[in-house]
Copies of this chain bind each other. A is one copy, B any other.
Amino acid sequence: MDLAEGVLAGDRRAVARAISVVEGGGAAGAALVDRLYPRTGRAWRIGLTGPPGAGKSTLADRLIGHFRDAGQRVGVVAVDPSSPFTGGALLGDRVRMDERTAGEAGGVFIRSLAARGALGGLSEATEAVGDVLDAAGYDVVLIETVGVGQGEIDVAEAADTVVVVVVPESGDAVQAMKAGLMEIADVFAVNKAERPEAGRMVRALRQMLHLRPPPEDGWAVPVVKTSAVEGAGIGSLVAALEGHRAHLAARWDETRTARLRRRVRQLVEAGWRARFWDARRSALDAALAGLEAADRTPHRLAARLLEREGADREG
């Protein structure tokens, strides 16, 4: 039984090994992804993002508990888009995450991911790990990511349904807005709802969502209050998630195709970029060093390199 077959049979050790292979990228990773991809599309990929300290891990615990109670198998991918230098904070999360598996007889698979620089970036790595878990028969793939930067937004694109977790203290709802979270949220969870500012935060988010141009796909983003620590509001959150899933069901092929298109674009661009600059780095250096100042200008240099590309290919 080869690795792909092991994954398709749901073998945990094969899944673990396959994740390492696709995470590593390269030809072996690409071949494995391509082998598994046609067997994916069944899992529901839920992204969970938001600022540090919003309580994402505890909320993830609650969601895992819910799905397990419903008899579903859950794969968890914890993604840290930050630099290697910043491992400390996430380590805490990771330890907590391991604890929550302690009581499980199985049915939950947890893996962390901090790949940088793989072809197509972290977003592709997240997609690929999602493919492995999906192909292995996990019903739900929970993608947890820390922070609110571009990295997190890229990762969120790998999910079918994105939950943005905020807390009243993350200050102003304006911050969520500024960080581009409004654009990626399918559901907002205002966590730590026991705090007095929670109601105001919910109203502010709803108001801002209302001010947006109506979404193309007609989905109205719900804002739910949760208190992960107390276990309150989980039912409402799950209902909101299920609502989005039902909404997606009507356009599932479309959604999957759109995501595949984006992946292919990223892979093509990354492949081209590596190939192009491998060949042109010296040309750029020579131009920077050799040209007269009047020609050593941004657009003239760019045009020169783009023309060379055409010339090289034709010649």
CB-defined contacts of A178 to chain B, threshold 8 Å: 52, 82, 86, 89, 146-147, 149
Across the interface, which residues of B come within 8 angstroms of A127, CB to CB? 298
A302: chain B residues at CB < 8 Å are 264, 267-268, 271
Say whether A96 faces chain B, with CB atoms less than 8 Å apart: no
Contact of A288 among B213, B257, B293 (CB under 8 A): B257
Instruction: Decide if A305 is an interface residue (CB 8 Å cutoff).
Output: yes
Question: For the complex formed by this chain, how many copies does it contain in all?
Answer: 2
- Which residue of the partner chain B has the closest CB to A285? B261
Interface residues in A7-53 (C-beta closer than 8 Å to B):
30-31, 33-35, 37-38, 51-53
- Determine if A264 and B310 form an interchain contact, defined as CB atoms under 8 angstroms apart: no
- Minimum C-beta distance from A125 to chain B (A): 12
Determine whether the beta carbon of A86 is less than 8 Å from that of B272. Answer: no
With A85-B212, A294-B38: A261-B288 Cβ-Cβ less than 8 Å? yes
Evaluate contact between B146 and A149: CB separation under 8 angstroms. no
Within 8 A of B (CB), among A94-152: 124, 127, 146-151
Q: Which residues of B contact A277 (CB under 8 A)?
A: 265
Task: Decide if A200 is an interface residue (CB 8 Å cutoff).
Answer: no
A296 to B38, CA, bound (A): 8
> Does any Cβ of B come within 8 Å of A276's Cβ?
yes
Count chain B CB atoms within 10 A of each CB in A30, A149, A182, A296 and give the residue with the most.
A149
Asked if A299 is at the interface of the complex by the 8 Å CB criterion, the answer is: yes
Flag the segment in A55-63, A169-177, A189-197 that touches B: A169-177
Query: In the bound complex, how far is the Cα of B26 from the Cα of A110, in angstroms?
Result: 48
A248 interface contact, C-beta 8 A: no
A313 within 8 Å of B by Cβ?
Answer: yes
Residues of B within 8 A of A171 (CB): 52-53
Instruction: Give the 5 A-B residue pairs with the shortest CB-CB distance, closest first.
Output: A150-B150, A313-B313, A267-B302, A34-B297, A30-B299
